[in-house]
Chain A
Amino acid sequence: MFNFVLARLSSAAVVVFGVICLVFLLVHMVPGDPVDMMLGESAQPADRVALRHELGLDRPLLSQLGHYLNGLAHLDLGTSFYTRRPIADMLAERLPATAELAGAGLAVAVLIAFPLGVFAAVRKDTPWDQGAMFFSLLGVSVPNFWLGPVLILVFSLGLGWFPVSGRDGLSSLVLPAITLGTALAAVLSRMVRSTLLEVLGEDYIRTARAKGLSERTVILKHGLRNALLPTITLLGLQLGTLLGGAVITETVFSWPGVGKLTIDAIMRRDYPVVQASVLLISLSYVGVNILTDMVYGWIDPRVRVRGN
Chain B
Amino acid sequence: MRAAYGFPAAILLTWLLMAVLGPMLPLHPDAIQLPMILHGPQWHEWLGYDDLGRPIVDRLVLGAATSFYVAFWVVLVSVFVGSLVGAVSGYLGGAVDAVVVRIIDIFLAFPGILLAIAMAGVMGPGMENVVVALSVVGWVGYARLARAQVLSLKHRDHVVAAVALGRRPLAIVVHHLLPLIGAPLIVEATFGVAGVVIAEAGLSFLGLGVQPPAASWGNMIRDGSRYMLVAPHMVLAPGVALMLVVLSVNLLGDRLRDWLDVRGRPHA
Contacts and interface: CB of A to CB of B under 8 A. Distances in A.
B88 interface: no
A285 B111 contact: yes
A96 B96 CA distance: 41
Sorted from nearest, which 3 A-B pairs have the closest CB atoms? Answer: A244-B112, A240-B111, A266-B121
A262 interface: yes
Contacts of B251: 137
B123 A240 contact: no
Contacts of B238: 146
Given A30-B122, A138-B243, A143-B202, 10 more contacts: A15-B106, A137-B247, A141-B250, A234-B266, A241-B112, A242-B112, A244-B114, A274-B121, A282-B114, A286-B109
22 contacts: A18-B105, A26-B119, A29-B122, A31-B124, A137-B251, A141-B194, A143-B201, A145-B202, A145-B218, A149-B239, A153-B235, A183-B268, A187-B266, A187-B268, A234-B265, A239-B111, A240-B110, A244-B111, A248-B206, A252-B225, A282-B109, A282-B111
Contacts of B250: 137, 140-141
Contacts of B202: 143, 145, 248
B266 A191 contact: yes
A240 B112 contact: yes
Contacts of A229: none
B111 A241 contact: yes
B200 to A, nearest CB: 10
Interface of A: 11, 14-16, 18-19, 22-23, 26-27, 29-31, 130, 134, 137-138, 140-143, 145-146, 149-150, 152-153, 157, 183, 187, 190-191, 194, 234, 238-245, 247-248, 251-252, 262-263, 266-267, 271, 274, 278, 281-282, 285-286
B41 interface: no
B245 to A, nearest CB: 9
Contacts of A187: 266-268
Contacts, number: 152
B76 interface: no
B246 interface: yes
A241 B124 CA distance: 23
A241 B268 contact: yes
B118 A278 contact: yes
A15 B225 contact: no
Interface in B162-214: 194, 198, 201-202, 205-208
Max count, chain B CB within 10 A of own CB: residue among A140, A239, A271: A140
Nearest to A143: B198
A72 to B, nearest CB: 16
A15 B251 CA distance: 35
Nearest to A288: B111
A239 B242 CA distance: 24
Contacts of B236: 150
